[in-house]
Structure 1
């Protein structure tokens, strides 16, 4: 695995090793621990800092992942509840169907690494990456259609297993300050996100779309578990092309399973035909995905259209926030523009102005 540039998160990795040695030794119940120089995973996200750590004590080797809360300058999400990521892993530990990394310890004290963090056991496998898109090159493109089919079906079964989880397992997902129903909470949160991220400088198209979502919100819905970042790029697969684990729960909510299905369909499209790349043979397309999801969950797809508009609004907001946080020029990437205008097209909204 390649090292990410140290400046990518601005951390002194030697200082991190020095701080982690006594902390890990205490957690492992040993006198001393040696730690190899940490690595940043290839393609790691912007919203959290992740270190891959190998700790050694005698003949014992521990392969760990350290997930560190975002610094304010790197904060992508509104009202981040960092501890919830650890809580969901703990709640799902040992679940017979949903596979997640095993969470080991949470540390609130910022004196260790500068911010709170938690530690997981490292999973081994391969992840379909977005850059370059897995449909164009890489290990999945080199696999056989039958192997890809195995991967896609395993991923869909894992997604459906998440959507069969009872809400009672994750009471900490609830955001009553944003309303009582799941999709009402979700819309209130993302409306607050737009205010937090952009203030009075939010593009007009964002206000128009949020108003459309509010006026067209489904009249009857119920809270349900939403993974939040549902896509095969957040799953790890073994050599048998089956799911090893589900990662990245930072957008988890009670928005309901349809929110995940809409997000899944959006990224399946944007990482294939959306970039002018044919979908790999063996990976299910839109109709197959919807049909298998319904078969596995028993859920209706009523109101999927509303959630697909919403998915594009969220993707546009996140992309625009990230671009502005990194102070990239307006011409650097136009995904936010594309996502928001796709949302307008789906909603039947005519928008003349550009998104800056």
Structure 2
């Protein structure tokens, strides 16, 4: 493993902070600063040896590295380069969430150490155990395309979600959020974020906030809500077994159908209008269950009333439009110059709003 290549206006990894100031003060700060990181690894008991690293994952927000030293392999997860809102990319909280749900039996990597000090690598971060497995997004890994594997894999993802939503809200898990008023807070918070995130007018995004608030379902019960539950955030040990659920930054306590709506909204299906949230394009191929199949399996496993699920799909797509607009605005402002995802959001955000409006129309006319 080696350092990532330099970009024209900065590097991703440096050996030491710049003279006279921390790495975070650079015009384009690095993502890893090796000397202070190695001292931190010493302090938390990672054996001595030559440090090697590589960037892993396909996340558009937070950054993940595999580290190897002294015969051990761990994963470092940190937020992106600043600036970003103070409440965003809270890796200390995410580590607390992962530890809490792990204790409750949810398949997650074990947390090894947490660093709240941004003086080490330029942002707070945490270390977790490396989990071996496969992530499914654009293609099926070797050994995952046997007879029936496509349906088995998707069913395993739905079953893992049902199991997550069955976790008792007690102990450390009970402290992860305030479930009362979850849906109202989601609509209100993202409606407030839109004018802060955008540099342009997309009237449909604003009108959707009013329609979502006016048609909000009552909600059935409270559960741990992952907030970003999709195939690309699952590590599979085999087609029928989820080894780990990843990326817990958005997790809280709330309405579990928000997770199911997000899973359906990010699950690519043949014939559906493309959006930037088609995050598992492989599932548009033959042999994969339909979106309706996902919903039916979840309902059978949990007993949930899924009549209002199109509203939750609309919520997921509308929220996605708003946080994608933040990425697009940061790119316009020159803060994400090497981002090849953000330019497509010029059209992608309006497409997400249209998809949300279509899902909400289904809800309003009582159609799944």
Asked if Structure 1 and Structure 2 have the same fold, meaning a TM-score greater than 0.5 normalized by the shorter chain, the answer is yes
CA distance in 2, matches of 1:5, 1:20: 19
User: Structure 2 length normalisation: TM-score?
Assistant: 0.79
Spell out the pairing of 1:1-356 with structure 2 (5 A cutoff). Answer: 5-7=5-7, 10-15=11-16, 16-28=33-45, 33-43=48-58, 45-56=59-70, 61-73=71-83, 75=84, 79-96=88-105, 98-129=106-137, 133-134=138-139, 138-139=140-141, 143-168=145-170, 169-174=172-177, 180-198=180-198, 201=200, 203-219=202-218, 221-239=220-238, 241-269=240-268, 273-275=272-274, 279-327=284-332, 332-333=344-345, 334-348=347-361
- State how far apart, in whole Å, the 2-side matches of 1:106 and 1:303 are: 39
Aligned to 1:352: none
Secondary structure of the residue aligned to 2:232 is helix
- Map Cα deviations across residues 18-58 of structure 1 (whole Å, 9 max, x no partner): 2222211121176xx22433111152x131121210011xx
Provide the secondary structure at the position in 2 that maps to 1:105.
strand
**Alpha-carbon distance in structure 1 between the residues aligned to 2:327 and 2:360:** 25
5+ residue gaps, structure 2: 17-32, 275-280, 333-338, 363-368
Q: 1:310 to 1:297 in 2, by over 3 A?
A: same
Q: Cα deviations across residues 45-104 of structure 1 (Å, max 9, x unaligned)?
A: 131121210011xxxx2111111133333x3896453322101111122444x2001111
Relative to 1, partners in 2 of residues 1:315 and 1:298: Cα closer, same or farther, differing over 3 Å? same
Residues 295-340 of structure 1, C-alpha deviations (whole Å, 9 max, x = no match)? 1122211321211111110121122221221228996343212110
Offset at 1:218? 2.1
Length-normalised TM-score, structure 1: 0.81
* SS of alignment partner, residue 40 of structure 1: strand
Q: Deviations over 1:101-123 (max 9, x none)?
A: 11111111122112111100111
Q: Does the 8 Å contact 1:145/1:281 carry over to 2? A: no
Distance in structure 2 (CA, Å) of the matches to 1:311 and 1:238: 28
Query: What stretches of structure 1 of length at least 5 have no aligned partner?
Result: 350-356
Aligned 8 A contact 2:156 2:241 in 1: yes
Alignment check: 8 A CA contact 1:76 1:321 kept:
no
SS in 1 for 2:253: coil
CA distance in 2: counterparts of 1:100 and 1:64, whole angstroms: 14
How far residue 253 of structure 1 moved from its aligned partner, in angstroms, is 2.7
CA distance in 2, matches of 1:300, 1:207: 29
Cα RMSD of the aligned pairs, angstroms, is 3.1
Contact 1:186/1:254 (8 A) holds in 2: no
Q: Distance in 2 between matches of 1:295 and 1:9?
A: 51
Query: Which deviations, in whole Å up to 9, do the C-alpha atoms of 1:145-195 show, x marking residues without a partner?
Result: 42223322221111111111233353443269xxx4121222222223224
